Amino acid sequence: MLFRFLKYLLPFILTVLTCEAYSQGVIVDTTKADTLIEKNIVIKEVDRETIKQKVAAAKDTIKPKLHSPRKAAWMSAALPGLGQIYNKKYWKLPIIYVGFGVIGYLGYDYYTKFNKYKETYVFRTGLDSTATDYFPGISSKELLYDNWNYYRRNFELTCIFGSLLYILNIVDAAVDGHLYKFDISNDLSMRIEPTMNSTAYNHIKNLSGGVKLTLKF
């Protein structure tokens, strides 16, 4: 009888122990899984912070593009008006090109007339018989010579003015390049008000009036 009871009891005890061991293993495995998930979350958060720090550091190291006055000057030297475009002073382009156009037209006109009067004078004086007489209606050699010098002088003046305009175009581009980021506030005001000054001399106070000028910009 006892043997039969033990025969049925032992399998039951073994089954209970096996289930308990399995449940503990599952709990341990679940705990490990939870620990791994928490570690992964922490690692991801750390990676995010690291990435943010790297991006911030990269932004700090990237220098903003500076506006170069030297570049503006060289661009205007290469092509008049190009430096003004670089400085975003577009309204100056018509002034520059109208100026060069007027000077170029006058220079061409003076040069043409200068050569014609010169060639006519040379022909009239017999220095070159192959030259052309462009002004048969002018009989005076002195007048031909005076007109020759007049147009020659005007042509030289147009060359000088053209050179000055070219240099001014370069200087203007360089100055605008320096003032490109100059902060001009819209709140520009001037205030004038009376003021009283107190001075002491030999323990005697003296009052003097004045005017105070205040500029706000």
CA triple 130-135-139, angle to 5 deg? 100
Cα 172 from Cα 160, distance rounded (Å): 18
Cα 79 from Cα 100, distance rounded (Å): 12
Cα 11 from Cα 51, distance rounded (Å): 59
On whether the CB atoms of residues 212 and 192 are closer than 8 A, the answer is yes
On whether the CB atoms of residues 177 and 196 are closer than 8 A, the answer is no
Residue with tokens 């400085």: 87
pLDDT of residue 28: 43
User: Rounded to an integer, what is the distance from CA 74 to the centroid of its chain?
Assistant: 14
pLDDT of residue 4: 54
Going from N- to C-terminal start, the domains of the chain cover 1-62, 69-178
pLDDT digits (tens, 9 = 90+) for 154-193: 999 999 999 999 999 999 999 998 888 775 555 556 666 7
Token pair listed for 39: 């570690």
Taking 50 as the pLDDT cut, the residues of the chain under it are: 2, 5, 21-30, 33
Contacts of 153 (CB under 8 A, 6+ apart): none
Rounded-to-5 percentages of helix, strand, coil across the chain = 65, 10, 20
User: Rounded to an integer, what is the distance from CA 44 to the centroid of its chain?
Assistant: 41
Cα 9 from Cα 4, distance rounded (Å): 9
